[in-house]
Chains A and B, each alone.
Chain A
Amino acid sequence: MKIQRYRNYVLYGILQLSLIATVNAATDSAIQPKQKIDHTMHHNMQMDMDGMVMNANTDQLPRGCTEISEEVDITVKAGRKYALEMNGIMFTYNQRQWKVKPCSKVNVTFINDDHIRHQFMLHQLPPTIYPPYGMFNIEVTGPGQRTASFIVPNEDKTYLVHCDVAQHTENGMKAQLVVGKGNENGDLPSIPGVTPPIWADNYAVQWSSMSYTIAILSALASILLGVAIWFGLKTLASNTRGKTE
């Protein structure tokens, strides 16, 4: 079971690294937009000096959804200060896991508390509605906030949410959106506070007099146990011999 889980993590690691390209092709054919999308459009991008939103979607139902099942408002705060409550990372969101029903409409208010760029980037949505890579993205270039919505397909799936500024994902800005029961394989790996990393750091080991004592006592105990077993077996053997004689 544990090995299976670990293998899933590795698979997800690879998936995560290649930023989820493979599944796109499969979902592409399965889900059709309600109305035709102009693919020459620039990824439905709204941009100004303070940030941008890519592929905001308030009304296009993915195939499989007859209506919006629920409307969920989430407020996501991003910045260095949210990493203070955690060890070993530099940037993160105030919350790193959200759960919604299939066909939900998610209204995200994304607040950036830093003086640099951060993103709420979600992958693996149907590329027909979220062209060209199946990506929804809110980007705020400094202190400030922005609200946008997207609608998730009618499917149990766990979506990767992250900030793709170089090395921000690796430094803690990684989260998941669990739709319905989520992925069969379970949670995504290395989400701070949610799941352990696949490739963990090595920290220095500090031996105290207590740890030495415990190790030595344990060694002594095992020797004593060995001797006891040996004597026990010997006695048993001589007893048996005595009986047969």
Chain B
Amino acid sequence: MKNLFYILAILGVAAGIYYLATHLSGSPTEPPPATLPIVTSTAEESGLIKRYCAGEKLVKLRAAQVVDGVEINKSRVCRPDLPAQVAAFVKGTNQVAHQTLMKTNLALDSVVKSDDLDGDGDPDVIHIKLEVAELNGSTPDSSQVTPSFYVAPGIRPGLWAFAPKTRGMATKTSMTTEANDTLRLPSPAIRIEEGDTIKITLENTHYFPHTIHFHGVDHPFVAEDGTGNDGVPFASEKAVLPGDSHTYTFKPRRSGTDFYHCHVQTDKHLMMGLQGLFIVEENHPDNWLQTLNVGDGQVRHPSVAVKQKYDAEYDLHYQSVDRELGEIIQASHDPRLIAEQMNRNYDMTDATEDYFLLNGHSFPMTLIDSLVIVEPDQKLKFHMLNGQPSPVAIHFHGHKATITDYDGVNVPATNRITRDVFNIAPAQRIDLELSTTNDGLNSYGSGIWLFHDHSEKAITTDGISPGGNINMMAYSDYVGNDGVPKTRGMDLNIFFDPAYYEGKVPVWGSMGIPELLGQAATVTPSIKQLLLLGLLIGLLCLLLAGLIANLRTRRKS
């Protein structure tokens, strides 16, 4: 009987403690707390985007120029593609001037061009060598990741990419862990001419087996020399082991926008980044192509056919990353442990996509090298690839565009559809024609027009918005000489602050009424409440002691 009393009292007091502890804040009689002063680093970080984009060297790199006889189009973006590198990819690393090659970090046998077989003034045997680079992986030397590549401010998921064969260091200089400019996402867009003899050597510099599968590209299942050519490790040939190499050979008979990716543990290896655009261009005389477009975006040396029909050409590669998948390569460096975690413990059916990338970056970093800068009355060509497991629905503000090709197959002009949202299923490609003629249909005039995936999670970076694959199409009168769009809304610098994507910055805190939309302060519990809580805890202890004493006396008697 006495025990029952104790137990009931204990339960009652415990309930009281629970109630008090969970109701320490927000007494209805107290006024709401004040607003905290804004503690973001945006004030000191102001001008961050400018810092990315300023400098004499960058001005020179943006200009239209001729390098080694290769015409290089103007690129007004903040971080343009390196003209020397473009020239090396056009002429071939074996043929470009030594001085030009020295301005890049490419190996001499990176892209080897030879043999004008059809006598039309351009090389017809193209040999490309690709390596597999790990970005943001673990090191036995510290808890840091290396070589480092940011997809968004402060965000470095573990990634893999096909990369052109380079020489020297993986980092920018010996003073930094920052990956050099050729080691990045996406894997570079590959451009070749229809009818050319293509050899692509995968030099597997990575610690896992890999292959390349040429999705949609005309290639035989087995090459002429009898080696497998489809890149499927359980169907056409064995996977390329670490330290080994394999050459894929084919002669595509048809032009179109296609896709290449690793076909080993495809679910994981695709999402880790081993995927890129593969574009077969029409055969034309003197058609010297920019074989690789590192970082995708604007093509600074378009093909003959594109130059005839369009004012500018862009490669747009959409992909997504699961943070937890990337963390596997950051948690261990023993390949056996990583393989166990990735192949046997990680379950993609339970996974979520956290980062949505366009050309390897999420907003605002898409503005750095993928900003589309246009003039009125231009015709643009976009090669778009969806490399992520979820569909994308790309919406262009202020424009309606026309699909000219689905999966590398041309649509007859009479059957083409003009619209403003473009649905692309996983692995599908579309070629898009967009006109900037201000006629109320094609374009609604000059401005800074957003274009982004309209599946809402894809415009966030791990849930924080705006982020994801948002990019802008800016008319040139809205772009500064440094490539920074002259936006008219919120300061862009706030989005370049890593704290923003850590969720530490009140999104509307700098909109002029921080008192109303800023960060609410915390409240301290009142002395009365704390005293009462202490008393109750003491009482609980006494009751427990009483109960135990009672049980012991009863047992003794």
Contacts and interface: CB of A to CB of B under 8 A. Distances in A.
Interface of A: 10, 12-14, 16-21, 24, 42, 45, 47-49, 52, 54, 79-80, 87-91, 114-117, 121, 123, 133-135, 137, 139, 141-142, 164-171, 189-190, 197-203
Q: Can you list the 8 inter-chain pairs with the closest CB atoms, starting with the nearest?
A: A197-B140, A21-B175, A114-B243, A80-B243, A190-B140, A90-B207, A88-B334, A115-B245
Contacts of B337: 88, 201, 203
B243 A47 contact: no
Nearest to B112: A49
A205 to B, nearest CB: 13
B173 interface: yes
Given A166-B179, A190-B140, A117 B173 contact: no
Given A91-B242, A116-B205, A170-B140, A49 B109 contact: yes
B203 A117 contact: yes
A142 B167 CA distance: 12
A199 B170 contact: no
A132 to B, nearest CB: 9
Nearest to A192: B140
Describe B's contact surface by its main secondary structure.
loop
Contacts of A48: 108
Contacts of A115: 203, 243-245
Describe A's contact surface by its main secondary structure.
loop
Interface in B147-195: 147, 163, 165, 167-171, 173-177, 179, 183
A234 B536 CA distance: 40
A79 B242 CA distance: 10
A19 B168 CA distance: 13
16 contacts: A17-B139, A17-B141, A21-B173, A80-B241, A87-B334, A89-B335, A91-B207, A115-B243, A115-B244, A133-B174, A142-B245, A165-B170, A170-B141, A170-B146, A197-B140, A198-B142
B243 A170 contact: no
B102 A170 contact: no
A13 B144 CA distance: 10
Nearest to B161: A166
B142 A17 contact: yes
Interface stretch (B130-138, B387-395, B426-434): B130-138
Given A80-B243, A116-B245, A197-B141, 17 more contacts: A18-B176, A19-B169, A19-B175, A20-B174, A47-B108, A49-B108, A89-B335, A117-B167, A123-B174, A135-B174, A137-B168, A164-B169, A170-B140, A171-B207, A189-B140, A199-B142, A203-B334
Contacts of A16: 141
A13 B243 contact: no
B143 interface: yes
Contacts of B207: 90-91, 167, 171
Contacts of A116: 131, 203-205, 243-245
A134 B173 CA distance: 12
Pick from B137, B143, B168, B177 the residue with the most CB of A within 10 Å: B168
B504 interface: no
A134 B175 CA distance: 12
Given A116-B204, A123-B174, A167 B133 contact: yes
A60 B89 CA distance: 37
B333 interface: yes
Interface in B310-361: 332-337
Contacts of A123: 174
Contacts of B206: 167
A141 B169 CA distance: 14
Nearest to B135: A166
A128 to B, nearest CB: 15
A12 to B, nearest CB: 8
B544 interface: no
Contacts of A198: 140-142
Pick from A20, A21, A165, A198 the residue with the most CB of B within 10 Å: A165
Contacts of B336: 88
A168 B109 CA distance: 20
Contact of B205 (A117, A169, A202): A117
Nearest to B147: A166
B210 to A, nearest CB: 11
Contacts of A190: 140-141
Contacts of A169: 139
Given A117-B131, A167-B206, A199-B140, A91 B335 contact: no
A234 B147 CA distance: 65
Nearest to A22: B175
B334 A201 contact: yes
B107 interface: yes
A192 B245 CA distance: 25
A40 to B, nearest CB: 11
A141 B107 contact: yes
Contacts of A79: 243
B330 to A, nearest CB: 11
Nearest to B245: A115
Contacts of B244: 114-116
Nearest to A190: B140
Contacts of B165: 117, 141
Interface in B228-247: 241-245
A141 B102 CA distance: 17
A88 B340 CA distance: 13
A100 to B, nearest CB: 22
A52 B183 CA distance: 20
A19 B131 contact: no
B174 A19 contact: yes
Contacts of A52: 167
B43 to A, nearest CB: 29
Contacts of B137: 167, 170
Nearest to A116: B203
Contacts of B242: 80, 90-91
Contacts of A137: 168
Nearest to A197: B140
A164 B107 contact: no
A189 B177 CA distance: 18
Interface in B101-135: 102, 107-109, 131, 133-135
Pick from A10, A20, A166, A170 the residue with the most CB of B within 10 Å: A166
B122 to A, nearest CB: 22
A47 B167 contact: yes
Nearest to B141: A13
B393 to A, nearest CB: 34
Contacts of A142: 203, 245
B174 A21 contact: yes
B175 A18 contact: yes
Contacts of B131: 116-117, 165-166
